[in-house]
Chain A
């Protein structure tokens, strides 16, 4: 079993996300005494009689002043069974981009709803964003269950509605779990509640500790973006020339034949080097240095591949999550960062805007605004080796960057990784 789970929270404002995260930390005894003292003091200063657990996580001055979460925070906690990296993301509509940030590396998404309100617009939007980014598993925490008198009928109604939405987004049965919780009181977060005898499933923490974490598939094609060329030119290593990088997908072994894109040169892996000694093979996630049999002209930005070739193209279709206040309009000149290569690009026609509520798309919307998701045509100054995001996550992901001020404008996903009824058909 994997000893680490990366998860992201999402949910609407005031659904109690920070309280839930605070509760997880508090009940797993991940909060140390001085931090807790500070929360007790701050709660008392605000005139509260019980500690406000959201103060454990809302770290910025303005967050505490306004009682909302503004930016993603990363939390670390561990139980004897597993370690967790939790991306705690804000619920406000204007900060949906932070949900994208949290979801891009998550293996599981925890969505919160208020049991009194059920599935709302923001729930559907966040579930769609998690699905789009390929987060393989979802949990729906039906929070504030104490405020509906622990009513089973209410819970079942919300759970059914959410399952239907998740299924429409492409989640298979078993990848989604609904849990009735009260973050404030602590029901079914870490401790099992005796007020929900009708619920036989795991508590949130039990689920997080035991849920399978999908490893990268062994048969995924090998992808290795070259980050940096290591050339010591020292007396000890006069001719050493290694290509440093992190394996983005698949596995490589000494002796494998590889191709270097976009140039298309071929060679064989002679050595896989690390500071701690050479390896026979390296798999997704490992930072290594490759030495090839032939003396090729390779540098930062090149992609070493094997086991199936990505498409090498300067024109492609992509889905973008627009993260900037400045809207996207066709013809915009941008930068595209894919792997370790950054190239100039033009956003061509804007084919569709995705409607996360109806799970349908709107034809030729004219522009894309903050937090909108759309299908665009992209033309790049140099050809890029691209995988479909839905098939090789790291091989199909890219950033859209503003060449003027360097800001990140969009998360880009090559192809169409979400099942959508197209309005045009």
Chain B
């Protein structure tokens, strides 16, 4: 078997294990490339039956329009149910406060955990990959979270062969990462092989952006640009999709999949290092957020 077939087969196996062992799984779906790939693999795992899980999007309110349009189109295409947990609702009724730096990415944790509790989800699929970040490299494929949604890295279960242990007590849930063993390049090669459609912002386009902390950020209702930050028009694309306040664009002419693959292969910057401000906060930013219940 080729490496790509092995990765696909492993992810399909993981989807079917969860369908067989859990009562209320859900797929976290943002419309980004990893969750789009995740959904594609779920469709394959259960074909010709429909995907037996609903989708959940934690909406920061600072989205790229192209991504939301894409999200809704994909959900309709597969006839799935989409739950949306909105950070804006929490800010409006005072349960969350806007941060001084304007970023809503860390605010996602509370709506996420509330949605898990409200819907009694017991398995939550995410598109996280171990190659993204050092703390993610430590994550199991089945990752138990306590009743507060917290990750306890010292207490992780050993994961042996392909026998996944999904047992959990009431209130606990399991985060499931079928793409654990994929790298960014694996993802792109597979997207090319399968002809998977992505939001247009993954490919080169013209956009009004401004420079903040070395990153090209798009203008948006989240408070960018501020005084002294200059809007310029550049040809850019996105490597990741997230909250508009902390997801940067890269200057690029890669307008199709083949040029994106060539660009990613030659890049000297990691995906998150290049375009995610939230991971730059400290040496252990990702680990700290995961301990709080974030993905």
Q: Which of A59, A337, A405 has the most CB of B within 10 A?
A: A59
Asked whether, in the complex, the Cβ of B163 is within 8 Å of the Cβ of A285, the reply is no
A-B contact pairs, 28 of them (CB 8 A): A4-B6, A32-B267, A34-B273, A57-B137, A59-B136, A59-B287, A60-B135, A60-B138, A61-B288, A64-B284, A71-B153, A73-B138, A74-B137, A76-B130, A76-B183, A104-B161, A227-B16, A234-B50, A237-B49, A244-B16, A274-B44, A283-B1, A285-B9, A286-B1, A300-B20, A335-B167, A397-B163, A408-B158
Q: At the interface with chain B, which of A93-101, A121-129, A194-202, A254-262?
A: A93-101
For the complex with contacts A83-B3, A240-B48, 16 further pairs of A-B residues with Cβ separation under 8 Å are A3-B3, A33-B269, A35-B273, A60-B153, A64-B284, A74-B181, A105-B162, A232-B48, A240-B49, A245-B16, A246-B9, A275-B43, A286-B9, A287-B16, A399-B163, A411-B158
B235, CB-defined interface residue at 8 Å:
no
CB-CB nearest in chain B for A232: B49
Q: Does A174 sit at the interface, judged by CB under 8 A?
A: no
A334 to B81, CA, bound (A): 38
Q: Which of B20, B48, B138 contacts A228 (CB 8 A)?
A: B20
In the complex, A340 Cα to B19 Cα: how many Å?
12
Contact B48 A59 (CB under 8 A): no
Within 8 A of A (CB), among B121-180: 130-131, 133-138, 144, 153-154, 156-163, 165, 167-169, 180
Find residues 61-102 in chain A having any chain B CB closer than 8 Å to their own CB: 61-62, 64, 70-76, 83, 85, 97-98, 100-101
Q: Known contacts A101-B160, A104-B160: does B48 contact A230 (CB below 8 Å)?
A: yes
Are B46 and A61 closer than 8 Å at their CB atoms? no
- Contact partner, A101, options B19, B137, B158, Cβ 8 Å: B158
Contact of B160 among A38, A70, A397, A405 (CB under 8 A): A397
Residues of B within 8 A of A394 (CB): 161-162
B134→A73 contact, CB < 8 A? yes
Is B278 located at the chain interface by the 8 A CB criterion? no
Within 8 A of A (CB), among B43-65: 43-50
Question: In this assembly, does A155 line the interface, its C-beta being within 8 Å of a C-beta of chain B?
Answer: no
Note all chain B residues with C-beta closer than 8 A to A157. Answer: none
Across the interface, which residues of A come within 8 angstroms of B50, CB to CB?
Answer: 232, 234
Given known A4-B3, A287-B45, contact A61–B287 (CB-CB < 8 A): yes
A407 and B163 form a contact (CB under 8 A): no
**For the complex, is B77 an interface residue (Cβ under 8 Å from A)?**
no
- Beta-carbon contact of A234 and B130 below 8 Å: no
For A230, list chain B residues within 8 Å (CB).
46-49
Chain A residues with Cβ below 8 Å from B10 are: 287
Q: Given that A76-B131, A101-B159, A232-B49 are contacting pairs, would A34 and B274 also be in contact in the complex, using a CB cutoff of 8 Å?
A: yes
The complex places the Cα of A16 from the Cα of B167 at a distance, in Å, of 36
Q: Which of A188-240 contact B (CB under 8 A)?
A: 227-228, 230-234, 236-237, 240
Closest chain-B Cβ to A253's Cβ sits at a distance in Å of: 17
Complex contact A100–B160 (CB within 8 A): yes
- Alpha-carbon distance between A394 and B163 when the two chains are bound, in angstroms: 9
Query: Which residues of A400-425 have CB atoms within 8 Å of chain B's CB atoms?
Result: 401, 405-408, 411
Please state if A246 and B130 are interface contacts (CB–CB under 8 Å). no
In angstroms, how far is the closest chain A Cβ from the Cβ of B207? 23
Residue of A231, A245, A408 with most partner-chain B CB within 10 A: A408
Q: Do the beta carbons of B273 and A32 come within 8 Å of each other?
A: yes
Does B226 have its Cβ within 8 Å of any Cβ on chain A? no
- Chain A residue numbers with a CB within 8 Å of B8 are 287
Contact with A along B260-295 (1 / 0, CB 8 A): 000000011110011000000001100110000000
**Is B219 in contact with chain A by the CB < 8 A criterion?**
no
A105 touches B161 (CB 8 A): yes
- Is the CB of B212 closer than 8 A to any CB of chain A? no
A323 within 8 Å of B (CB atoms): yes
Query: Does B234 sit at the interface, judged by CB under 8 A?
Result: no
Q: Cβ of A150 < 8 Å from any Cβ of B? A: no
Residue B83 interfacial (CB < 8 Å) = no
State the Cβ distance, A84 to closest chain B Cβ, in Å.
10
The residues of A that contact B144 with a CB separation of less than 8 Å are: 406
CB atoms of B269 and A74 under 8 A apart: no
Looking at the assembled complex, report how far the CB atom of B133 sits from the nearest CB atom of chain A, in whole angstroms. Answer: 7
Cβ of B13 within 8 Å of any chain A Cβ, yes or no, is yes
Which residues of chain B are near A35, meaning CB under 8 Å? 270, 273
Interfacial chain B residues near A58, Cβ < 8 Å: 134
Q: How far is the CA of A142 from the CA of B54 in the complex (A)?
A: 52
Q: Is the C-beta of A343 less than 8 angstroms from some C-beta in chain B?
A: no
* CA A237 to CA B49, docked complex, whole Å: 8
Question: Is the pair A411, B160 in contact by a Cβ cutoff of 8 Å?
Answer: yes
Residues of B within 8 A of A231 (CB): 49
